[in-house]
Amino acid sequence: MTIDRVKPLKLESADTGGTQDDAFPTSVNQYQDYVEARGLVLADATRSDETTVIARENADMLFKDGNNTTYVTLTQLLGGGGGLTEAAHEALRQLIHFIDNGPAENFASGAYREMTGTVFPTAIIWYDKATAGKKKIVEKDITWTGVLPTTIAWKIYDASETLLVTATDTVTYSGVFETSRVRVLT
């Protein structure tokens, strides 16, 4: 795609918010000037319509396009109405935030871990606390064949201890070396 870069012409004066007076239309200085407008309509190589728009309403920046025909605000995009903030993403109860060894950033301090089994643990469970009324956060169940873990099931729970998802790995070995793994999500 070839891009034709153009600069709008400006009439700038100090009494309308500019920093200098231009008596004649002058090219916008790309390093200094801001273009002020109600919004921006974007066209492509074949269409010049009003489907793709960036606009402003009061303090909100608004966006829409041909696939998303209702305006959304920047606040909605950043805060969970179509996107996530970094902090919100880190706090999600998704397995990626727990595999390898339990809860970490953005989860309440004081999480408690219990293990069953000895040298070959069969269950590792993280709870929200160590005291009475504790609730599961994440659980890892391991099935062993001799000294090899052949099935590993991760389970993630919501704050009321309702199971959200289970990821079960079935592991294949050649001798003691893992050769493949199949993951099933339920």
116 within domain boundaries: yes
Domain total in the chain = 2
46 within domain boundaries: no
97 within domain boundaries: yes
Tokens linked to 54: 């960036």
17 within domain boundaries: yes
Q: What is the extent of the structural domain holding 31?
A: 1-36
Three-class DSSP labels, the chain: CCCCCCCCEECCCHHHCCCCCCCCCEECCCCCCCCCCCEEECCCCCCCCCCCEEEEECCEEEEECCCCCCCEEHHHHHHCCCCCCHHHHHCCCCHHHCCCCCCCCCCCCCCEEEEECCCCCCEEEEECCCCCCCCEEEEEEEEEECCEEEEEEEEEECCCCCEEEEEEEEEEEECCEEEEEEEEEC
Q: Is the pTM of this model over 0.75?
A: no
54 within domain boundaries: no
Q: Are residue 31 and residue 104 in the same domain, yes or no?
A: no
Q: Are residue 29 and residue 97 in the same domain, yes or no?
A: no
Q: Are residue 178 and residue 96 in the same domain, yes or no?
A: yes
Assign residue 118 the CATH number of its domain. 2.40.128
173 within domain boundaries: yes
Q: Tens of pLDDT along the chain (186 residues)?
A: 677 878 888 777 777 777 777 777 888 888 888 888 888 888 888 888 888 889 888 888 888 888 888 888 887 777 655 555 555 555 555 666 565 666 665 566 788 889 998 899 999 998 988 888 899 988 999 999 999 999 999 888 888 888 888 889 999 999 999 999 999 888
100 within domain boundaries: yes
